[in-house]
Every structure is written in structure tokens, then in C-alpha cells.
């Protein structure tokens, strides 16, 4: 079973590869079969499928097979999981900066409440 940390882990891991990011970009424009997905790349099909497997494990991509063709779709909710993580960090730091600014602008009659 995968806890939250591990999920974000495999998620960023999945996005860390340029091939996989291109595959995500392709899929954000609409579903595609495995061979469609493979077309832009020079690498072998098994290599592409291995990348796809990693995207699936991360939850970013869902696939289902009909006849002999496997169709791949993106899962937006997982995409936004990463987005949220980044956003939280950024906001925290921005709040920190704001408090610092306020502190510097203020006359010395008030304490900063850090912690």
C-alpha cells in the first residue's frame, strides 16, 4: 500500500523524465493508443511501454484494452495533487516573506510571531 509521501514520490519521479512528460503532454490533448503514443520517439516499443507503466503506477495515466489496442487517458486529479503540493510550499514561503516585510516596515513596538 502506498502512503501520501510515496504517492507524491512516484508522481514526481514519473514527471522527471522528458519522454514521460512528452507522453503526458500528448495525452493532455486527448487519449491515444500505445503505438500512437510511441510514434514521436525513436526508442523501441518496449521502452515506451515501460515508460507508460511508470505513468500508470503514478496514477497519472489510466489505460484499458479493447480488442488488441490499449487506450491511454490522463487523470487530472493526480496532476493536481502535485500542483497542490507545490502551491502549498510556495504559499507558505510567500506568507513568510510577507510577515518579514511587515516586520521590517513596522516601528519596533510589536513582536514578530515566528513559530
Q: Which of 44, 38, 34 lies closest to 70, judged by CA?
A: 34
**Which partner, a copy of itself, DNA, none, binds residue 98 by CB below 5 to 8 Å per kind?**
none
**Among the listed residues 35, 45, 69, 90, the single contact to a copy of itself using CB under 8 A:** 90
Helix ranges restricted to H, 1-115:
4-15, 18-28, 34-38, 45-58, 76-105
Length of the chain equals 115
Contact string 15-44 vs a copy of itself (x = CB under 8 A) = xxxx--x--xx-xxxx--------------
**Among the listed residues 13, 35, 44, 50, the single contact to a copy of itself using CB under 8 A:** 13
Amino acid at each position: 500500500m502506498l502512503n501520501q509521501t510515496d504517492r507524491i514520490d512516484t508522481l514526481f519521479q514519473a514527471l522527471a523524465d522528458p519522454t514521460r512528460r512528452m507522453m503526458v503532454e500528448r495525452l493532455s490533448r486527448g487519449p491515444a493508443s500505445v503505438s500512437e503514443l510511441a510514434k514521436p520517439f525513436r526508442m523501441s516499443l518496449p521502452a515506451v511501454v515501460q515508460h507508460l507503466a511508470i505513468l500508470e503506477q503514478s496514477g497519472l495515466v489510466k489505460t484499458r484494452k479493447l480488442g488488441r489496442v490499449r487506450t491511454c487517458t490522463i487523470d487530472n486529479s493526480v496532476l493536481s495533487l502535485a500542483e497542490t503540493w507545490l502551491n502549498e510550499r510556495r504559499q507558505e514561503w510567500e506568507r513568510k516573506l510577507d510577515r518579514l516585510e511587515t516586520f521590517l516596515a513596522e516601528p519596533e513596538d510589536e513582536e514578530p510571531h515566528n513559530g
